[in-house]
Structure formats: C-alpha cells, structure tokens
Amino acid sequence: MSQALFPDRPRNNSLLREWTGPLTEDLVLSPSRHGLDRVPKRFTGDGAVETVCGYCSTGCSLRAHMREGEAVNLSVDPNYPVNQGLACPKGWEALTVLNSGDRSTVPLLRDSKGTLQEASWDEALKAFVGKFKMIKETFGPDSLAWLGTGQITVEELAYLGALGRFGMGIRHGDGNTRQCMATSVVAYKQSFGFDAPPYTYQDFEDSDTLIFVGANPCIAHPIMWQRVMRNRNRPEIIVLDPRKTETAEAASQHYALRPKSDLQLFYCLGRMLIERDCVDERFIDSSVEGFDEYKAFVQDFSIEETIERTGLAYEEVERLATSIERGKRVSFWWTMGVNQNYEGVRLAQSIINLALITGNIGQPGTGANSITGQCNAMGSRLFANTSSLIGGYDFVNPDHRSLVSSRLGIEESYVPSIPGWSYDQIVDQIEAGVVKGLWIVATNSAHSWIDQDRLRRAFEKLEFLVVQDMYCTTETAAMADLVLPAAGWGEKEGTFINSERRIGRTRKVRQAPSEALADFSIFRLVSRYWGDLNVFDSWSSPENIFKILAKLTEGRPCDISGIGGYEMLEEKGGIQWPYPSDYRSDSVQRRLFEDGKFYHPNGKAKLIFERPCSLPEEVDENYPFVMLSGRGTSAQWHTQTRTSKSDVLRKLYPKDVYFEINPEDASNLQIQSGTLSKIASRRASIVAKAMVTSTVRLGQIFVSMHYQVTNKLTHASFDLYSKQPSYKYCAVSIRKYDEN
C-alpha cells in the first residue's frame, strides 16, 4: 500500500541502522516481530485480527481482515462486549484515511530560509535533541514543555510522560485531555478519592431512568447510544441541553435550559428531592460525608429562582424531580456540556451529589457517569504523568513518589513533587517568553485550542516547535520547526482504555508509510539520542512497557497487576480495571462501588458544593448572541485531519463552515439557510453559512468545532479547579456578510 502511494519516497531506514546497531530491529517494527503472525485466540476467525478503534472512547472492536500482512477490510464481531457487532461510519472508514497523500512520511526540518525540508531521522533527532538541550541550558528548566494526547496508546503515553519528566527533565507536560476530561478527573478525585468513572456499558441497558447532561451521544458516541436503544425497561430518557440535539429528539424528555444554568438546577433538584424524602438514608449514613451541610446549602436554591435562571417552566422542574424520584435505577451521564464549563468541576459534583444522596451508585443501571472522549482518554488520565503521577499516583505524596521511583528504577530525586503547568499555563508561559521549546504529539493545537489568534501569536514566539503527527498538513505542523512522521492507528501495537475502564488491544495491521514510525519508536529514538537514559532500556517493546505499568499500579484503585500481558487481554476481549493479581472472576461487566466503599481514607464519598459564579463573558447589545460549540456529525472527528480524508465520510457533512440559528433570529437578521454571514466575537470575526433550524433557541447559535475558524471566536475562560477551557459559551454578533 504505502510503496504504491509514495513512489518517490522509498522505504529507507539505513540511517537508523548506522547509528544504533541492533536496536534498530526494534525500531523499524516488522510485522513478524510484533505479533501480526500471532492471531488472537478469541473473537477471530480466518486470519483476521481484532483491534480496538482509534477514534472515540467507546472502544469498539473492529476486525481487520488480512491479506499478505496488510489489512484490506474491516468487519465487526458480534460477541465483543462493547459494540456487539456494531460500528459507526468513522470506524468503518478507519483504514481508508491511512492512505491519504498528505501522510507524514519523512522528517521535515525548517531551514535557515524558513522552508520545511526533508531530513533524515538522524538529522531530525540531532536537531531536536540539540535544540532542546541548548534551550534548557540557556533558559533553565522551565523553558521546555510538551503537549500529549488521549489518542496514542497507553504505552506510548506512559513513555512520553516518563521520558519527558523523569528522563529529559522537562518540568511541564500536559495533554489535549485538558480540553476534554480535566473537569471529571478533579471532580471524581475530590468526591470519590480517585479518578474513577464507576460504570459499565451494561448500565445503559439496565437503567430505567437515564439522564444525559450536556451530552449528545447520537453524534458523539453512537454505539453507546445503540446500547441505550437496547434497554428493555421502557426507560425515561432525559436530555438536558440548550439545543434540541439528535439525542434530545430521540429522548422521552428534553429540557432546553439556558446555557450555564445547570448548577442552579441541580442544587434546586437536590433541595426538592430532600423535601420529598427521596433520599437513601441508609446509604448516606454508611457511605456519604457532608449531608447535613449539603442539605443546609441547597435551601437557598428555590424553584422560583431556578425557573428564572434556567428559563424552564415550573412544571418542567417538577417533572424532572418526579422522574428522579420515581426511577428505581437512575443513571446520570455527562460529557462536554458539563466538563467544558468555567464551573465544570462543581457542576459535575452537583450531579455526583444527586446520585449519592439518592443511593443511585454501585448498583446495576445507576451511577454518576462521565463519558470520556478520545479512544485513550482514560489511559491518559492514569499513565501520562500529567494530572496524576504515572500509574494513578499523586505527585505531592512522598510515599507515592518513592514507590514509583523504586518500581520504575528511577532515582527518587527525578520524580517531581508537583504536577507541571496545565495546557493554559503552558500557553501563558510561551506568551510570556518563558517556555521556548515545545514538543507536540498527536494533537492539533492550532485548530482546537481556545482563542486561536492568541495561541498562534504565542507559538510564533517559540524558539523551537516540534510536531509529531500522522499528517504533515495539519495547522500545527504548518507552524513547526521540525515535523516528525508518526504511524497512526492500525500501524502499531498497544492498548487503549475506554470509557468503562476497559483496557483493549489495538493492533498493527498495516505498515506505516515510508519512514513514519510508531510514537513508541520515536520516543525510544529520542531517549537514545538524549543519552544517559539507561533506565528506559527495559522499555523495549509496547508489551514490556505494559507489563511494567501493570506492576506499577499494584495496590492502587486502578490496580491491573493481575493482567499478565497482551495475550490475556486478547483472550478476554478487554479487561476493565481494577484487575489485581488476586482477582478471580470471569465477569465481563464490572462497575465500581458495589460495596458502598469509596477511596477516601474513611471509605466515604464527599458531597462537594459551592455557590454558582458569574459568567466570564456576558452578552450585551454589541454581542447579543450566545455561541455554543461542539460536535457536528458522527462522520467528523475533531480537527478533521483524519476524517476529511475519506470520500465516504466527506459526503456525510457540510463542506463549508456553517452556524445553526433559530428561524426567528434569522428572520430578524434577514438571513436564510445558505446566507453568508459574519460572526464576530470580542476577539475575531469569521464568515460562515447560516443553517436555519429550530433546534437552537432564540438568542443562541451553534458552530461545530470541526472548522478551524471556530476557535478564533471562543473566549479563553477556564474552570478554576481543573483548568479545562470553557468552550461552550461566548458572546457574538451576527450580520449578513454582504452588509459590510
């Protein structure tokens, strides 16, 4: 495949061979050495390989059909416990996008005239290491940073995090998971004592009342939604979303509350449920801390004020409370409408509080359940060495640091005692001229980060920007001084952890094009070139890293020391954490907290609450509309570097940037569907086509995140505790474009 596509770029790794001797055998991963010849025992037939999809956190298994060592087709296994024979359009097209002509195939290095030129790996790595060392020596240890992702494997994330912080001594590293999951991480840690989404997908089918808050699974998690559709309890499906999304259309109740009024509503619901005596006193006594304080606190959240703030009718608030009261197995699910909020942590906790006081946790069909986003968001949370110390430990805990140091064989002084800067702080410090070297792996910041123009101005100040990506045409790669060509999903070995904490195998079923290497191999090369990093000698294959990590987790809530290696994962069809070495059950659907015990030292969960704060950006007469943003269609993935490469997927979404606007607003502005319009925020303006639809409320518009211009408009505000960007609210004005 790759040879034909890149005729002018023959596969030539002779340079690698020159400098590292025998190690190169490992670096240029060959199918026979890395398991393609070892067909997994379960879930496969006729020479096919089961591999977990590399897009969303659902973690569907796809079956790759092989011919002469390369996948030529995909099908889906009906027995895999996650997707049970289903896949969404992105999954079906996962192989096609690997064939794109803009794949990154050789390193590119910017020359003195500012042009990116092809370079050998040797030149590229010497430049990388040379520049980074020089920057660190000249400007000090705060001058380097990296940005990672929830879209590479657990083993690769761990390698990047460990190499960066323990090896190269880079103090600051964060991931695109900051844009996505940080809020839930902090909310769970504070409430439960550990970052632990408690559910299993069976809960979608077992619940009788499912409440989706700021989540649009029909578009964003279509196979999870299929699990909801299989629910035989004739459930109430309740959606809280300012827009009438595809999910809201399919639900039995939709509450189109005003954007960012959720916290008021959940505190009011808490008060109403207490007044109606709909609390589980036994559960509260044994497993929950802070009920009396919570009860006193929610007294201030009257139904009258709630109606005023949320824009909902009295009957709607009553009906919602009654639905929770009547439900026997109530489950709460949230995604970015909650996490991407300037008060997201407290909002997620206001949902957790309702599950706790009503005893809806730890039992089938219940839970306070954050749905994750990217295929390995959960892996990033536990192993990337960013929000937690690698393996689910705490940076600030000296016992944890010494355990990590002894289990990984790293000198204790190399294990930092504080987390590094978060993504927003790294951007601030680039802007301030402190961070001068940045290494970006598998994320497209120059499209996805909030307040784009500011980010780009900051990036211009960098001395050296390294971008490691599958494609050389991303907006971020265009700004790079060095582009490192990476293999993508399907071209490398490893594991992902999905939303229900299931660790699944992702497999190499294709050869990466030309000189592109798996991120694992790139990290290995970087550590060799950096020098004096013998500690990583044992990190010699993805599976070896997996085994090291499994041992590292022993005794933590995410203990997976009972998983012996890849073969066990393949045989069992993925394994949910925890899986300690003494675990003895064959259950394939496991939820947390079935015994009512949480991870705080006293075994109880905490009710955490705080008064709502004011909006970081208000609408006014100049900027009278609220702009919401999010996913557009199930065929589009984020910044579109992958999905836009499939003819099939491209047919499933609008080509040009568009915005959704209510018919009444459109009529007032004399705009019809298709009218080119200028949308301006206090930061920038863009031109987009109108799509007139009553799915958005009066005074609100929706713009999908898949177009680069969207984040020119967004307002850089963040949750205080998690530092997650509040993408889903900014003030804009709209007028017809030709009125200029």
Ligand X SMILES: Nc1nc2c(c(=O)[nH]1)N[C@H]1C(S)=C(S)[C@@H](COP(=O)(O)OP(=O)(O)OC[C@H]3O[C@@H](n4cnc5c(=O)[nH]c(N)nc54)[C@H](O)[C@@H]3O)O[C@H]1N2
Report how far residue 239's alpha carbon sits from residue 213's, in angstroms, rounded to the nearest whole number.
Answer: 6
**Which residues within the stretch 168-197 sit at the binding site for ligand X (CB under 6 A)?**
176, 179-180
Nearest-approach distance from CB 89 to ligand SF4, in angstroms:
7
Residue 711 binds ligand X, judged by CB under 6 A: yes
**Which residues within the stretch 24-83 sit at the binding site for ligand SF4 (CB under 6 A)?**
53, 55-56, 58-60, 83
Tell me how many degrees the CA angle 92-97-103 measures, rounded to the nearest 5.
160
Residue 490 binds ligand SF4, judged by CB under 6 A: no
Nearest-approach distance from CB 360 to ligand SF4, in angstroms:
26
Number of other CB atoms surrounding residue 513 within 10 Å = 26
Among 49, 66, 71, 87, interactor with ligand SF4 by CB under 6 A: 87
Among 448, 506, 646, 726, interactor with ligand X by CB under 6 A: 448
Residue pair 676/737 in contact by the 8 Å Cβ criterion: yes
Residue 260 binds ligand X, judged by CB under 6 A: yes
Contact string (CB under 6 A) for ligand X, positions 228-257, x = contact: ------------xxxx-x------------
In sign, the C-alpha dihedral spanning 623, 629, 632, 635 is: positive
Nearer to ligand X, 373 or 420 (CB): 373
**Which residues within the stretch 606-665 sit at the binding site for ligand X (CB under 6 A)?**
628-631, 634, 636-639, 641-642
**Which residues within the stretch 427-446 sit at the binding site for ligand SF4 (CB under 6 A)?**
none
Nearer to ligand X, 294 or 637 (CB): 637
Binding-site partner at residue 710 among Mo ion, ligand X, ligand SF4, none, CB < 5 to 8 Å by type: ligand X
Tokens of 445: 């910041």
Spatial CB neighbours of 624, under 8 Å, sequence gap ≥ 6: 699, 731, 733
Nearest-approach distance from CB 92 to ligand SF4, in angstroms:
7
Look at residues 264, 273, 258, 363 and name the one whose alpha carbon lies nearest to residue 312.
258
Report how far residue 560's alpha carbon sits from residue 552's, in angstroms, rounded to the nearest whole number.
Answer: 9
Tokens of 85: 């024979």
In terms of Cβ atoms closer than 10 Å to its own Cβ (0-12, 13-18, 19+), residue 199 is buried
Among 167, 193, 270, 337, interactor with ligand X by CB under 6 A: 337
Q: 544-551, long-range: CB within 8 Å, 24+ apart, which pairs?
A: 545/155, 545/158, 545/159, 545/520, 546/154, 546/155, 546/494, 546/495, 548/408, 549/154, 549/155, 549/158, 549/383, 549/390, 549/391, 551/407
Look at residues 333, 335, 423 and name the one whose alpha carbon lies nearest to residue 373.
335
Kindly give the residue spans of alpha helices, DSSP state H, lying in 531-645. Answer: 542-552, 566-572
**Which residues within the stretch 89-108 sit at the binding site for ligand SF4 (CB under 6 A)?**
90-91
Nearer to ligand X, 598 or 707 (CB): 707
Tokens of 416: 């930092």
**Which residues within the stretch 174-193 sit at the binding site for Mo ion (CB under 5 A)?**
180
Residue 474 binds ligand X, judged by CB under 6 A: yes
Residue 347 binds ligand SF4, judged by CB under 6 A: no
Report how far residue 234's alpha carbon sits from residue 53's, in angstroms, rounded to the nearest whole number.
Answer: 30
Report how far residue 719's alpha carbon sits from residue 737's, in angstroms, rounded to the nearest whole number.
Answer: 34
Contact string (CB under 6 A) for ligand X, positions 368-397, x = contact: -----xx-----------------------
Look at residues 456, 438, 369, 384 and name the one whose alpha carbon lies nearest to residue 178.
384
Nearer to ligand SF4, 54 or 359 (CB): 54
The DSSP string of 371-421 is: ---BTTHHHHHHHSSSSSBTTTB-TT-HHHHHHHHHHHT--GGGS-SS---
Instruction: Determine the 3-state secondary structure of 175 from DSSP.
Output: strand
Report how far residue 54's alpha carbon sits from residue 56's, in angstroms, rounded to the nearest whole number.
Answer: 7
Nearest-approach distance from CB 218 to ligand SF4, in angstroms:
11
Nearest-approach distance from CB 54 to ligand SF4, in angstroms:
7
Binding-site partner at residue 198 among ligand SF4, ligand X, Mo ion, none, CB < 5 to 8 Å by type: none
Report the Cα–Cα distance between both ends of the chain, in Å, rounded.
50
Nearest-approach distance from CB 14 to ligand X, in angstroms:
23
Residue pair 659/594 in contact by the 8 Å Cβ criterion: no
Interface size with ligand X, residues (CB under 6 A): 60
Task: Give the binding range for ligand X (CB under 6 A) out of 452-460, 470-478, 536-544, 557-565.
Answer: 470-478
Nearer to ligand X, 43 or 267 (CB): 267
- The tally of CA atoms less than 13 A away on the side-chain side of residue 512 is 29
Nearer to ligand X, 94 or 220 (CB): 220
Beta strands across the sheet bearing 330-334:
253-255, 236-240, 209-213, 330-334, 367-370
Nearest-approach distance from CB 509 to ligand SF4, in angstroms:
15
Residue 151 binds ligand SF4, judged by CB under 6 A: no
Task: Give the binding range for Mo ion (CB under 5 A) out of 307-315, 320-328, 365-373, 398-406.
Answer: 365-373
Spatial CB neighbours of 113, under 8 Å, sequence gap ≥ 6: none
Report how far residue 526's alpha carbon sits from residue 517's, in angstroms, rounded to the nearest whole number.
Answer: 12
Binding-site partner at residue 366 among ligand SF4, ligand X, Mo ion, none, CB < 5 to 8 Å by type: none
Report how far residue 307's alpha carbon sits from residue 316's, in angstroms, rounded to the nearest whole number.
Answer: 9
Residue pair 466/456 in contact by the 8 Å Cβ criterion: no
Binding-site partner at residue 639 among ligand X, ligand SF4, Mo ion, none, CB < 5 to 8 Å by type: ligand X
Nearest-approach distance from CB 504 to ligand SF4, in angstroms:
10
Nearest-approach distance from CB 80 to Mo ion, in angstroms:
23
Nearest-approach distance from CB 220 to ligand SF4, in angstroms:
9
Residue 216 binds ligand X, judged by CB under 6 A: yes
Nearest-approach distance from CB 87 to ligand SF4, in angstroms:
4
Report how far residue 182's alpha carbon sits from residue 232's, in angstroms, rounded to the nearest whole number.
Answer: 34
Binding-site partner at residue 714 among Mo ion, ligand SF4, ligand X, none, CB < 5 to 8 Å by type: ligand X
Strand partners, 731: 626
Binding-site partner at residue 262 among ligand X, Mo ion, ligand SF4, none, CB < 5 to 8 Å by type: ligand X
| Residue recorded with tokens 């490992």 | 26
Interface size with ligand SF4, residues (CB under 6 A): 13
Binding-site partner at residue 58 among ligand X, ligand SF4, Mo ion, none, CB < 5 to 8 Å by type: ligand SF4
Closest residue to ligand SF4, Cβ-based? Answer: 91
Instruction: Determine the 3-state secondary structure of 463 from DSSP.
Output: coil
Report how far residue 236's alpha carbon sits from residue 244's, in angstroms, rounded to the nearest whole number.
Answer: 17
Report how far residue 680's alpha carbon sits from residue 145's, in angstroms, rounded to the nearest whole number.
Answer: 33
Residue 471 binds ligand X, judged by CB under 6 A: yes
**Which residues within the stretch 672-691 sit at the binding site for Mo ion (CB under 5 A)?**
none
Nearer to ligand X, 207 or 636 (CB): 636
Contact string (CB under 6 A) for ligand SF4, positions 106-145, x = contact: ----------------------------------------
Among 197, 362, 373, 490, interactor with Mo ion by CB under 5 A: 373
Binding site for ligand X (CB under 6 A): 56, 149, 151-152, 176, 179-180, 213-216, 219-221, 240-243, 245, 259-260, 262, 335-337, 340, 373-374, 441-444, 447-448, 468-471, 474, 486, 488-489, 519, 628-631, 634, 636-639, 641-642, 705, 710-711, 714, 727-728
Binding site for ligand SF4 (CB under 6 A): 53, 55-56, 58-60, 83, 87-88, 90-91, 222-223
Binding site for Mo ion (CB under 5 A): 180, 373
